[in-house]
Amino acid sequence: MKGRCSFVYEFTESEGQILTWGAFFLLGLALMPAALGHLTWSMAAMILISLLIVRPLAIAISLMGSDASVTTRLFFGWFGPRGLATALFALLIVPTIDPGFAEPILAIAINTVWISALLHGLSAQPGARWYAAKVKAMGDCPEMKTAGQSAIPLRKSHHHQDLDKNRNSS
C-alpha cells in the first residue's frame, strides 16, 4: 500500500508540514492578540501544570505495558502530542457552547498553544541531544530498533505455522 500511495506519504511529510505551519501562523495571527488579553497568572499556572505534569502523566499512563524506557517516557511526555489539535478542538466547540464559556476556553487553548510552541521550540535541540545521548548509552534497547523492526517477536498463529510447514515441505 505504501508503495502505491507514496505521493500521499510524501505530501504529509513535506506539503502537509507546510500547511500545519501555515495553520499555526494564521491561528496565531488571528487569535493570539485577543488571547493574550485574557492571559492571567492563574491561567499561565494552569497551562504550565498541564504542560509539565498532566500531559507527561497522561503519556506515561498511555505507555504502560510498553517496553519504552523511562527516558523515552519522559521525552514523549515533553515532546509528545501537542499544539494545533488543542486550538482546533476549541474552535470546534466554541460555537456550540454558552458564549460566557466560549471566550475563556478559546483564550486558554490559544495561550496553551503559543506557550507550548515557545517552550518546545526552545527545548527541541537540547532535548533531542539529551535523548540521543541517553538512548545511545542504553546500548541494545527497543529504542534503537528501526521503525520496521518489532521489539517484541510476534508469535505466529497455528494457521500460519501450518502454512509455513506446507511451504517448506513443497
138-141 contact pairs (CB < 8 A, 24+) = 138/69, 138/71, 141/69
Q: Which three cell numbers stand for residue 55?
A: 500531559
d(CA 110, CA 114): 6
d(CA 151, CA 142): 5
pTM for the model stands at: 0.65
Query: How many Cα atoms sit within 13 Å of 9 on the Cβ side?
Result: 6
How does pLDDT run across 7-62, given as a tens digit for each residue?
666 666 677 778 777 877 777 778 888 889 999 999 999 999 999 999 899 988 99
d(CA 121, CA 116): 8
How does pLDDT run across 119-148, given as a tens digit for each residue?
988 999 999 899 888 888 888 877 776 655
